[in-house]
């Protein structure tokens, strides 16, 4: 039987990702904790995060050992703003000391940290003052970033300013699934995104002033949008609006320094122009867009996965690995910068699809590398099952390579963890891995048939620089 290997560069970063509120536990001082305690159906089954994965209580170090067991060499984590600055201008020395313990443990384990400075949660004091809709929020964030970089610049030089600002704005002020604080709507959505764009730019310049050699980017959740009926002009128009509003408007500003919302005032943002050293891509799904008056009037979702094709649970979109390569090509054409896949994963509690998912998406990354797109690393979401925001501890939304029993805090490696460990250790994906972990992926790993196949395979898989 033909064997095939897809080799990745020797300096490729293999990683996992987590977020502070989702794994730390006992984040009493942020807006999400308040949102959870309020009940009323904000969170699935009125779950509260509680101890989460108990990183703050000491289990971070155990999970860092698991990162090493996976043979990964990097991890993307976030710092909880409300722990570090529980009141305006007041800095918590115990919180800073605990984060130094965690980051030092990562360094000792050979795990390079990528620090995310904002991953959805805000201090309560900030939310009481209007959150990100307050113009002063940019200055508040810049002060927090300066404190963090001064404290941890010796342990980190790879910074992610914001996680998925487009998702944060959408869930808060379009779908109303996150903490909002204002009447939802498209004008507020773009206003919030503008402040987040300014906040990213401010953080970029603060970090480079303090740490000139740092590499600074942000993680954008990018969806592969398609018109449901390509010949329908209304579907095509709505698709363009959604793609630009969700994928495009903020990235356009970070490239050009021009803020051009669909709704609201166009203006110059010169501080944002070229304020990226790299671009982070969080990729999960494809959606087909269909004009639906009923959905628009109710602020529902005029989009969904294609019928009959593999999709995630509930509202989750279609799993479409090819879309990852499409978006990597698009981002590189726009920016010409290094790219990190800062999140990629699938909610799959029984681990039925995750091995196939990993192999298929990594093959697209390999293809992008062969095309000359500088993908520097891949961060799988997530290392462990965790508190999945509005889905809480809903088992259908368990993303971890390690399953977590949230009553006992016991971790159990899934089959996908063993697969990912082999990939990270060897720096390659192979047909043998597919046979052992995901036989249904063999048609992806071995896509060629017929005379001359072996010669073509040898040409395609010959490693360039190992």
* Helix axes of 186-210 and 165-173: crossing angle, nearest 10 degrees: 150
Residue 79: the pLDDT is: 98
Residue 27: the pLDDT is: 97
Terminal-to-terminal C-alpha distance of the chain:
25
Comparing 443 with 121, the larger pLDDT belongs to 121
Comparing 247 with 39, the larger pLDDT belongs to 247
Please give the average per-residue pLDDT across 115-126, as a whole number: 98
pLDDT exceeds cutoff 80 at 5: yes
Helix (H, G, I), strand (E, B) or coil at 75: strand
pLDDT tens profile 319-348: 999 999 999 999 999 999 999 999 999 999
Residue 450: the pLDDT is: 37
Q: How far apart are CA 168 and CA 223, in angstroms?
A: 14
CATH 3.40.50.1970 fits 5-461, yes or no: no
pLDDT exceeds cutoff 90 at 117: yes
pLDDT exceeds cutoff 70 at 461: no
pLDDT exceeds cutoff 70 at 183: no
Q: How far is CA 304 from CA 103, 278, 291, 317, 320, in A?
A: 40, 30, 11, 6, 12
Using the CB atoms, write b or e for 426-459: b if 16+ within 10 Å: ebbbbbebbeebbeebbebbbeeeeeeeeeebee
The helix, strand and coil proportions of the chain, stated in percent and rounded to the nearest 5, come to 45, 20, 35
Helix (H, G, I), strand (E, B) or coil at 428: strand
Identify the weakest region by mean pLDDT among 30-39, 87-96, 358-367: 30-39
Helix (H, G, I), strand (E, B) or coil at 242: helix
Please give the average per-residue pLDDT across 58-71, as a whole number: 98
Task: Tell me the average pLDDT of the chain.
Answer: 91
Look up the pTM and report it: 0.94
Tokens for 245?
């509003």
pLDDT tens profile 83-108: 999 999 999 999 999 999 999 999 99
Identify the weakest region by mean pLDDT among 167-176, 198-207, 428-437: 167-176
List of E strands, 290-394: 303-304, 339-344, 375-381
Strand partners, 343: 282
Residue 1: the pLDDT is: 59
Q: How far apart are CA 20 and CA 123, in angstroms?
A: 13
Residue 181: the pLDDT is: 54
């Amino acid at each position: 039987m033909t064997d095939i290997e897809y080799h990745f560069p020797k300096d490729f970063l293999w990683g996992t990702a987590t977020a502070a509120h989702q794994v730390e536990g006992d984040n009493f001082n942020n807006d999400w904790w308040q949102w959870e305690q309020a009940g009323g159906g904000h969170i699935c089954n009125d779950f509260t995060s509680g101890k989460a994965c108990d990183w703050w209580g000491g289990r971070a170090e155990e999970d860092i050992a698991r990162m090493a067991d996976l043979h990964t060499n990097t991890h993307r984590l976030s710092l909880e703003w409300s722990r570090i600055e529980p009141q305006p201008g007041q800095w918590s020395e115990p919180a800073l000391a605990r984060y130094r313990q965690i980051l030092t443990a990562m360094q000792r384990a050979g795990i390079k940290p990528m620090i995310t400075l904002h991953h959805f949660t805000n201090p309560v004091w900030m939310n009481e003052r209007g959150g990100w809709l307050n113009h002063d929020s940019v200055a508040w964030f810049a002060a927090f970033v300066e404190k963090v970089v001064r404290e941890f610049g010796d342990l980190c030089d790879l910074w992610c300013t914001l996680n998925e600002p487009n998702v944060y704005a959408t869930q808060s002020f379009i779908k109303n699934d996150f903490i909002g604080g204002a009447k939802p709507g498209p004008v507020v959505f773009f206003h919030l995104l503008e402040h987040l764009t300014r906040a990213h730019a401010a953080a970029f310049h603060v970090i480079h002033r303090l740490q000139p050699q740092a590499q600074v980017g942000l993680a954008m959740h990018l969806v592969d949008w398609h018109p449901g009926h390509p010949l329908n002009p209304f579907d095509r128009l709505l698709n363009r609006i959604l793609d630009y509003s969700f994928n495009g408007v903020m990235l356009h500003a970070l490239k050009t320094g021009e803020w051009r919302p669909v709704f609201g005032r166009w203006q110059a943002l010169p501080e944002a122009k070229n304020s990226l050293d790299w671009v982070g891509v969080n990729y999960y799904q494809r959606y087909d867009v269909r004009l639906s008056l009923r959905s628009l009037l109710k602020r529902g979702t005029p989009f969904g996965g294609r019928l009959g094709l593999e999709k995630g649970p509930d509202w989750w979109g279609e799993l479409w690995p090819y879309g990852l390569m499409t978006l990597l090509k698009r981002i590189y054409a726009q920016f010409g910068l290094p790219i990190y896949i800062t999140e990629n994963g699938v909610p799959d509690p029984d681990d039925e699809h995750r091995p196939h998912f990993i192999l298929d998406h990594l093959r697209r990354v390999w293809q992008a590398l062969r095309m000359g797109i500088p993908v520097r690393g891949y961060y799988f979401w997530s290392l462990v099952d965790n508190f999945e925001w509005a889905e809480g501890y809903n088992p259908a939304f368990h993303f971890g390579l390690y399953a977590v029993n949230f009553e006992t805090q016991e971790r159990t490696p899934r089959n996908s963890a063993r697969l990912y460990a082999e990939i990270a250790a060897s720096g390659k994906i192979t047909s043998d891995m597919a046979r052992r972990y995901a036989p249904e992926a063999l048609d992806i790993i071995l896509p060629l048939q017929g005379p001359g196949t072996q010669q073509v395979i040898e040409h395609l898989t010959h490693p360039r620089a190992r």
